[in-house]
A and B are shown apart, each in its own frame.
Chain A
């Protein structure tokens, strides 16, 4: 069993707004093993992006521990954190907004190297050599070195984002919806690239997405989030074959499979996602749940290990319905 690289305990992020406190991330815990990918899925507003940003302290968590290689990064000072940032990087969703439009590809990829004084800014050849290496690694042609982001398509821009993240030889990368903005054929190119890089460089990923088929393809473990909490976490195969939480079941049944006659009966949910502002201390999903009972009104269900490696947060711990993915 591989070593645990990142251990998250009771991570909480609240935002104060004029209408109340938004519980963006509310007490979540998980481990990520070195070299593995943890997928975080959920619908908009479930707190998955906030979680990703908290993990590398782009957003300061309200409370909780994030233990990276044995040290709690939440307790580090800004200057100490700066050293650690070399190991922890992020790839963003929007390849248009995440690149500085006034800088060339060379300047963008070189920026982390220069800023962290990994290469002296006077040594133009060394900088260029490293940038070209990175460009080659992510599949960008040498001739693009002086182009500006707006001259390139989404796929190439995302490659720049990846090259920039790789520049400091990180060990851990948060991928925040890295392919959502891309076309199908380009999406597959980027997913394959990320997989290759993981294999070659031994990277550990947190892969955040709303796309269930992508997360299934890409992750070793999957955590399903709903309104700031993890409702289910299991190895990818297990989660897709044997989803136990009613929300996971509904989510999986809503996937549209691109094949004739493959789309099964959808589990219909009532209503829409509730507000994350000052939620009552009961199961967040209770109001929409098809298996609601008295029990559900008593406290937030804890995330319990039902079978080895398979965690579920539901008062109705026992499997409640025939598996939604049995068809086919």
Chain B
């Protein structure tokens, strides 16, 4: 063998990894790029608001300025307390992102663990987990969210938890079905043959191969979580006032929808665009991760 002792042969033939391959395909998908760009813009807005907009600035009441239409000074106008809606909306992006990402993380982690256990071991464990999941899924999501917030109290962490819990059944089901597909493949048997333990097999063989549908669900679920949080806030079960959460902004604007429609339009538009961006990114990811398009 002509291997030089100080250079890895695998480096010599280095090439694009699977992840890089997916990224490459994602780049050629217009929808995904649009979604990704919008999400980046929203992230930039959030970062900007974190550093340059203070909580006092968006909550201070200034009654003289109340209900002004959009102008150069106040691009989105002002609300019934005279607060600048532009700054409030920008400030509010952090809640939506936190809730979207945090909520989905909770459902993802719980769903991934329960779903892979159910799919891998089957039998009684599978039955128990799936019945639990069915039970959870049978409660209307908003109702479940309201119950959780009511019991635990109104706060941002509780809202995240509520949004997260309601999506758990979906993640259990998706994980379980992709684990079921992978579990019966021969390479899983091959891993048993080299002496690998159940846990090792789940995490090195099964989960990585069942990941594509899960990743896609994550992105589209983020959008749904944002909507759900906004709905809960709109109904008064979200973050307490005066935090400028987008759902809450829409809810507050509702009272003045005839004389100052901009109060509902702008935050509503932000919700829509954000959710839309996550959804088209999810669609693009689905195409990019589809193994049928490989080669």
Within 8 A of B (CB), among A240-274: none
**What are the residues of chain A within 8 A of B196 when measuring CB–CB?**
115
Question: Which residues of B in the span 3-24 have a Cβ within 8 Å of any Cβ on A?
Answer: 3, 5, 8-10, 13-15, 18
Q: Once bound together, how far apart are the Cα atoms of A97 and B196, in whole Å?
A: 18
- Taking the nearest CB of chain B, how far is it from the CB of A168, in angstroms? 7
CB of A102 within 8 A of CB of B15, answer no
The answer, among A83, A89, A142, A150, for a CB contact under 8 Å with B193, is A89
Asked if B193 contacts A85 (CB within 8 A), the reply is yes
For residue A90, CB closer than 8 A to chain B, the reply is yes
In the bound complex, how far is the Cα of B8 from the Cα of A88, in angstroms?
A: 30
CB <8 Å contact, B187 and A168: no
How far is B70's CA from A28's CA once the two chains are assembled, in angstroms? Answer: 86
Could you tell me if B9 and A142 are in contact, using CB atoms closer than 8 angstroms?
Answer: yes
Q: Which residues of A contact B295 (CB under 8 A)?
A: 150-151
**Are A116 and B15 CB-contacts (below 8 A) given A97-B185, A106-B10?**
no
**B189 surroundings in chain A (CB, below 8 A):** 53, 58, 90, 92, 98
Residues of B within 8 A of A132 (CB): 1, 3, 9
* Residue interface bits A68-111, CB-to-B below 8 A is 1, else 0: 00000000000001110110111011100111111000100001
Q: Are B10 and A128 in contact (CB under 8 A)?
A: yes
In this complex, what residue of A is CB-closest to B200? A115
What residues on A are CB-neighbors of B15 within 8 Å? 146-147
A125 with B5: CB separation less than 8 A: yes
B186 is contacted by which of A89, A92, A144, A165 (Cβ under 8 Å)?
A92
Chain A contact residues: over half helix, strand or loop, or mixed? Answer: helix
Closest chain A residue to B208, Cβ basis: A102
Whether, in the assembled complex, B62 has its beta carbon less than 8 Å from a beta carbon of chain A, the answer is no
Write out the residue numbers on chain B whose beta carbons fall within 8 Å of the beta carbon of A128. 3, 8-10
Q: Which residue of B lies closest to A85 (CB)?
A: B195
**Cross-chain contact A116 with B195 (CB below 8 angstroms):** yes
On whether the beta carbons of B13 and A56 are closer than 8 Å, the reply is no
What is the distance, in angstroms, from B118's C-beta to the closest C-beta of chain A? Answer: 20
Contact B193 A58 (CB under 8 A): yes
| Residue in B191, B208, B294 whose beta carbon sits within 8 Å of that of A150 in the complex | B294
Q: How many residues in A have their beta carbons less than 8 Å from beta carbons of B?
A: 46
Quick check: is A145 within 8 A (CB to CB) of the other chain? yes
Q: How large is the interface on B (under 10, 10 to 19, 20 to 34, 35 or more residues)?
A: 20 to 34
Contacts of B18 on A, CB cut-off 8 Å? Answer: 102, 148
Q: Could you tell me the distance in whole angstroms from the C-beta of A112 to the nearest C-beta in chain B? A: 4
A164:B10 contact, CB within 8 angstroms:
no
Residues of chain A within 8 A (CB-CB) of B294 are: 150
Cβ of A19 under 8 Å from chain B = no
**A143 near B: Cβ within 8 Å?**
yes
Identify which of B14, B187, B194, B204 contacts A146 (C-beta below 8 A): B14
Contact B13 A125 (CB under 8 A): no
Q: Considering only CB atoms, which chain B residue lies closest to A81 in the complex?
A: B195
**CB <8 Å contact, B193 and A56:** yes
Query: Once the chains are docked, how many angstroms separate the CA of A144 from the CA of B8?
Result: 14
B209 within 8 A of A: yes
Task: Give B178 Cβ to nearest chain A Cβ, in Å.
Answer: 13
> Given contacts A100-B205, A128-B8, are A90 and B13 in contact (CB under 8 A)?
no
- B9, B190, B204: which contacts A98 (Cβ < 8 A)? B190
Counting chain A CB atoms within 10 Å of each CB, the highest count among B9, B185, B193 belongs to: B193
CB-defined contacts of A145 to chain B, threshold 8 Å: 9-10, 13
Pick from B186, B191, B291: contact of A111, CB below 8 A. Answer: B191
Q: Is residue B150 contacting chain A, with contact meaning CB distance below 8 A?
A: no
Binary contact track A110-146/B, C-beta < 8 Å → 1, others 0: 0110011000000011001100110010000011111
B155 within 8 A of A: no
Taking CB atoms, residues of chain B closer than 8 Å to A168 are 194
Q: How far is the CB of A155 from chain B (nearest CB, A)?
A: 17
Chain B residues within an 8 Å CB radius of A136: 1
Given contacts A132-B3, A148-B18, is CB(A98)–CB(B187) below 8 Å? yes
- Give residues in B with beta carbon < 8 Å to A: 1, 3, 5, 8-10, 13-15, 18, 185-187, 189-196, 200, 204-205, 208-209, 291, 294-295
A residues with a Cβ closer than 8 A to B are 53, 56, 58, 81-83, 85-86, 88-90, 92-94, 97-102, 106, 111-112, 115-116, 124-125, 128-129, 132-133, 136, 142-148, 150-151, 161, 164-165, 167-168
Across the A-B interface, the 8 shortest Cβ-Cβ residue pairs: A98-B186, A112-B194, A82-B195, A85-B195, A97-B186, A100-B187, A92-B186, A102-B208
Q: List 15 interface pairs A-B (beta carbons < 8 Å), by A numbering.
A: A53-B189, A82-B195, A92-B189, A97-B185, A99-B190, A100-B191, A100-B208, A111-B191, A115-B195, A124-B8, A142-B13, A146-B15, A150-B294, A150-B295, A161-B190
